[in-house]
Amino acid sequence: MALCAAAIAGLFAGANAAVSALIGGGIGVLGALAYIWRAFCQGEQDPAKLYRAQLLGETYKFAVILGGFALAFKEFKELAALPLFLGFALTAAVYWVALLKTRN
């Protein structure tokens, strides 16, 4: 989804928008990977430990996302904010849609 967002942004707004959308999508993917790494790396079976692992996974994801946005705005002076946030939102939406699909 991040690559699609970057391609569409590039077609309509140029290379800078494409790079910004790709960075936003990358931030979303890195946040999801941080969650997966922390929440599922232990293979917990105990419900209390599993719940704690999920909470820590969300905390790691939030920290990675905040750090990613801070780094993006600090390091890339030509960053286009709208494509950045749209790229992030589209990658986040993919997880929600996948969750809805698994419930049916």
State how far the Cα of 5 lies from the Cα of 27, in Å rounded to an integer: 13
Q: What is the tens place of the pLDDT at every residue in 4-33?
A: 888 888 888 889 999 999 999 999 999 999
Domain count for the chain, please give it. Answer: 1
User: What is the Cα–Cα distance from 88 to 82, expressed in whole angstroms?
Assistant: 10
pTM of the model: 0.85
Q: Which domain covers residue 72, as residue numbers?
A: 2-103
Please write the tens of the pLDDT for every residue from 58-68: 999 999 999 99
